[in-house]
Amino acid sequence: MPLITYREAVRHALAEELERDPQVVVMGEEVAQFNGAYKVTEGLLAKFGPNRIVDTPISEAGFIGMGIGASMLGVRPVMELMFWSFYSVAFDQILNNAANVRYMSGGQINCPIVIRGPANGGTNVGATHSHTPENVLANHPGIKVVVPATAYDAKGLLKSAIRDNDPVFFLENTILYGDKGEVPTEEYLIPLGLADVKRTGTDLTIVTYGRCVIHSLAAAAILEQAHAVSVEVVDLRTIRPLDINTVLKSVAKNHRVLIVEEQKPFASVGSQLAYMIQREAFDELDGPIHRLATIDAPAMYSPPVETEQLPNPHRIIKAALAAVA
């Protein structure tokens, strides 16, 4: 299988879906002429033209709302947020309009829109550009939330997201854009709501998603070699819908759990997972559920310290050892 970057995987998914369905349009700030702020959409304008690949003004409430309105008529817009952090200025459109319009209309309307872009810390851009809003988004029934960790997952999940008839919020990661992974040349789809066991192990289950999957795999290798701890890494891939069954199966096998997430701890995705695991697998647990999250403060600028604020392999190893102690 060819090795391609996460960035290319997202781009290929966009190109294939643009090719397949004339209702798909790609819109966002700098997606066309500039070739994408992170070059995800590079070359799409040349291939599909300005009617399908559309540069928007810096106007998130306006253009995201416009995409939602167009999706009610059956257009399938894929809107890029240069950073998911900018969702706050389009909050009303995303979480009042896209999330609620189906419900408030008694099921008469659906919004087949995808909003995608990076949502991560770790790039020393300070608190305003480092938000990870998957918990905030997933708190709203009516929408779906996807956080892929690898090139393979990003492509297969984005293609499913674009074909989905509900609003899907797709959270990528600027640090992962350059990471290469094996991606088949033939077409494939990954269903939303299906977790993936990225590494099997017998002593501890790490439940995680996004870039923390990569960190957890790195930590797991060291834990195996240096500490003789065998770790299973469950990558959720999708936050909502949630594949809790794969999580519970792993918990039932290993009896010890560590949740790792690039989230502020209060009311995070991990909070919900911990509740569900204790509720549905209480008797399987040999100890309390452990969690490693971002250290609870706005994102720190100072580069070496921000690395320590976020989950990283070294913090995960420490947390894993505590969880199996």
Partner 1 sequence: MSKKLTAIAENQPAATAPRPPHAQAPINARLSQEEKIELHRKMVRIRRFEERSLRAYQGKKIGGFLHLYIGQEAVAVGCCSLMGKHDHVITAYRDHGHAIAVGMDPKPLMAELYGKITGCSKGKGGSMHYFDPSRNFWGGHGIVGGQIPLGVGLAYGVKYQGHKGAAMAFMGDGAVNQGAVHEAYNLASLWKLPVVFVIENNGYSMGTSQARSSAGQLAKRAEGYDMPWGQCNGHDVYEVRACMDKFLTLARETNQPSTVEIDTYRYRGHSVADPDNTYRSKQEVEEYRKTKDPIQVFQEQLIKEGVLDEATIEKIDLEARAEADHAADFAEASPYPTPDDIQKDVYWEADHPAQRKSQGRLFFD
Shortest CB 76 distance to partner 1, Å: 11
Q: Using the minimum distance from each CB to partner 1, give the nearer residue, 225 or 279.
A: 279
Q: How many CA atoms lie within 13 A of 80 on its CB side?
A: 28
Q: Using the minimum distance from each CB to partner 1, give the nearer residue, 109 or 127.
A: 109
Q: CA-to-CA distance for 183 and 67, rounded, in angstroms? A: 30
Shortest CB 160 distance to partner 1, Å: 7
The catalytically annotated residue of 12, 129, 131, 255 is: 129
CA separation, residue 255 to residues 155, 204, 223, 249, 316 (Å) = 33, 7, 17, 10, 18
DSSP string, 39-96: STTTTHHHHH-TTTEEE--S-HHHHHHHHHHHHHTT-EEEEEPSSGGGGGGGHIIIII
Q: Is the dihedral of CA 299, 301, 303, 305 positive or negative?
A: negative
Q: Using the minimum distance from each CB to partner 1, give the nearer residue, 6 or 63.
A: 63
What are the contacts of 123-127 at 24+ separation with CB within 8 A? 123/174, 123/175, 124/301, 124/302, 124/303, 124/306, 125/299, 125/301, 126/299, 126/301, 127/298, 127/299
Q: Using the minimum distance from each CB to partner 1, give the nearer residue, 2 or 141.
A: 141
Q: CA-to-CA distance for 300 and 291, rounded, in angstroms? A: 21
Shortest CB 306 distance to partner 1, Å: 31
> For residue 148, how many other CB atoms are within 10 A of its CB?
29
Shortest CB 62 distance to partner 1, Å: 3
Residues that bind partner 1 (CB under 8 A): 25, 51, 56-57, 59, 61-75, 92-93, 96-97, 101-110, 141-142, 144, 160, 163-166, 191-195, 238, 240-245, 272, 276
Q: Using the minimum distance from each CB to partner 1, give the nearer residue, 218 or 276.
A: 276
Shortest CB 16 distance to partner 1, Å: 17
Q: CA-to-CA distance for 123 and 265, rounded, in angstroms? A: 20
Residue 129 is a catalytic residue: yes
Residues designated catalytic: 129
